[in-house]
Amino acid sequence: MKAYEDHSAAKQEGHVLVVDDVATTRAIHNLILARNFEVKNAASGQEALDLCAERIPDLILLDVEMPGLNGFETCRKLREHYDIPIIFATAHESLEEHLKAFDAGGTDLCVKPVSAEILIRKVRLAIRQWRERTELKTRQESLKAQADLYQSGMSDRRLLLQFTRIALGCDNYEQLARNFLHACRLFGAQCCIAIRHDDSESAWSAEGSATALERSVLTQIAGMGPLVQFKNRLAINQDRLSVVVSNMPEENSDEAVRIRDNMSMLVDMAAAIADKLAQQHTTPVSSKDTPDHQRKTLADARLLVQELFDRLDNAYDLMATDKQQEERITEAVRVPLERLIALLEESFGLDPAA
C-alpha cells in the first residue's frame, strides 16, 4: 500500500528526466528524486533530445560535462522546441561557468555533489512555477480567443444590420440580390442566389446574371432542405429563394460555423424582403385602388413588417446578443419601417387608426 501511495505521489508531482553520462551520478539523482517524481534517465545529450521527442518531461536535470553534446549545447537545442524548466547539475563552482548555464537557457543550477533536500525543493518549485505559467498562458489565450470572437460577432452584427437597412429600400429583386451578394462578400462568402417570383426564377452571382452552370446548381439544390453543406459548398433554401456558397471552410471549423450562422440570418432577412416585394408586385399601389384594397395592402405591409421582426428575434438567438444590443438593433430597424408604413398611409389618405 505504501509503495502505491509513493508511486501516486511521484506521478502527481511530475516527470523528471535526469541526463548524465556517469551511471553512478544518474543512480544517485534517481534515488533522490524517485520518491517524489517519476524519473527517466539519459546517458547523453542526444539521448535526452530523443526522449523529449517521444515524451516531454516536466523538468530536466542536466549535467554539463558530457561527451558529444555537452550540457550547454543540449540546453540550447532543447530551448529551440521546449520551455520546460532545465536545472543544471555541475561540479563547476566558478561564476563564469554558472553564467554560461543561464546564458544557455537554464532555469536554475545545483552544484555537485547535490544536496538532496535542496534538489527536491528546487525541482518541485521549478515544476510548480512552470505549470502556473503554462496555465496562465492558456487562460490568456482563451480570453484572447473569446475577445476576438466577440469582436468578430459585433462586426458581423453590424454587417447584418447594414444589409437590413439597405435591403428595406430595394425596389426590385435585382437590387435585393445585388445587396445580398455584397453582404456575402463582406462575410467572406462567394455566393450565387436565385429568387422565385411571378411563376419564374431569376438568378445572380457576384459577376452579374448567373451562368447556366450556376442556374443548374441552384435548381438542383432547391429541394435539398433548408441547409446542407457538401465539401466546400453550402446550400440554403427558403420558399422564396435559394443560395449556394462555393468557398466554405472545413465543415466543423469555427469559421464554417460563423459563415453558416451569418448566411442563415442573411437568407432569412432577404426572404422576408423578397416576400414584401412580391406582395407589392401582386397588389400594386394605384390611384385607382379602392379604399378597401388600400386598407388590405396596408394590413399586408404591417404583417410583413411584423414577420421581419419575428425573423430578427429568431436571429438574436444565433447572434448571442445581450438585451441592450437587441434593443438598439430593433430600434434601428423599426424607425425606417414605421416611416414606410406612415408613407403608405399618407399616400392612401387613410386614417392611421384604420
Peptide bond into 113 cis (omega under 30): yes
Q: Let me know if residue 304 belongs to a domain.
A: no
Last residue of a domain, one of 117, 136, 155: 136
Per-residue pLDDT of the chain (354 residues; tens, 9 = 90+): 344 344 444 556 899 999 999 999 999 999 999 999 999 999 999 999 999 999 999 999 999 999 999 999 999 999 999 999 999 999 988 898 899 999 999 999 999 999 999 999 999 999 999 999 888 888 877 766 555 544 555 577 777 778 878 888 888 889 899 988 988 888 888 899 999 887 788 899 888 888 888 888 888 888 888 888 888 888 999 888 999 998 888 877 878 888 888 888 888 888 888 888 887 766 544 444 566 666 666 676 777 777 777 777 766 666 666 777 777 777 777 777 777 777 666 666 655 555
**Residue pLDDT, tens place only, 318-351:** 666 677 777 777 777 777 777 777 766 666 665 5
Residue 31 belongs to what domain range?
2-136
Are 191 and 72 in a shared domain?
A: no
The pair phi, psi for residue 4, each rounded to 5°, is -65, -45
pTM tops 0.85, yes or no: no
State how far the Cα of 39 lies from the Cα of 97, in Å rounded to an integer. Answer: 27
Q: Let me know if residue 159 belongs to a domain.
A: no
**Residue pLDDT, tens place only, 86-108:** 999 999 888 988 999 999 999 99
Q: Let me know if residue 259 belongs to a domain.
A: yes
Compute the chain's Rg from CA coordinates. Answer: 34
pLDDT, position 319:
64
State how far the Cα of 32 lies from the Cα of 108, in Å rounded to an integer. Answer: 18
Are 85 and 183 in a shared domain?
A: no
Please check whether residue 225 is in contact with residue 237, taking contact to mean a CB–CB distance below 8 angstroms.
yes
Cell 505549470 locates to 131
Cell 466577440 locates to 150
The CB density around residue 65, as the number of other CB atoms within 10 Å, is 13
Last residue of a domain, one of 244, 264, 284: 264
- Which among 347, 207, 216 has a CA at the least distance from the CA of 289? 347
Q: Let me know if residue 110 belongs to a domain.
A: yes
- Which among 79, 80, 98 has a CA at the least distance from the CA of 89? 98
Are 190 and 103 in a shared domain?
A: no
Please check whether residue 218 is in contact with residue 246, taking contact to mean a CB–CB distance below 8 angstroms.
no
Q: Let me know if residue 276 belongs to a domain.
A: no
The pair phi, psi for residue 89, each rounded to 5°, is -115, 110
Q: Let me know if residue 23 belongs to a domain.
A: yes
Q: Let me know if residue 349 belongs to a domain.
A: no
Last residue of a domain, one of 248, 264, 280: 264
User: Which residues lie closer than 8 Å to 280 by C-beta, 6 or more apart?
Assistant: none
Are 125 and 182 in a shared domain?
A: no
Please check whether residue 265 is in contact with residue 276, taking contact to mean a CB–CB distance below 8 angstroms.
no
Strands (E), the chain: 15-19, 38-42, 59-63, 86-90, 108-111, 191-197, 200-205, 208-209, 227-230, 233-237, 241-245
Q: Which three cell numbers stand for residue 137?
A: 498562458
Are 22 and 124 in a shared domain?
A: yes
pLDDT, position 8:
47
Strand ranges across the sheet with 233-237: 208-209, 200-205, 191-197, 241-245, 233-237, 227-230
State how far the Cα of 197 lies from the Cα of 140, in Å rounded to an integer. Answer: 52
- At residue 173, the 3 state secondary structure works out as helix
pLDDT, position 291:
65
Residue type present at position 239: D
pLDDT, position 287:
47
Q: How many domains does the chain have?
A: 2
Are 127 and 22 in a shared domain?
A: yes
State how far the Cα of 100 lies from the Cα of 53, in Å rounded to an integer. Answer: 25
State how far the Cα of 104 lies from the Cα of 336, in Å rounded to an integer. Answer: 67
Are 206 and 94 in a shared domain?
A: no
Q: Let me know if residue 105 belongs to a domain.
A: yes
- Check which CATH number belongs to the domain holding 50 and give it: 3.40.50.2300
User: Which residues lie closer than 8 Å to 163 by C-beta, 6 or more apart?
Assistant: 179, 180, 183, 266, 269
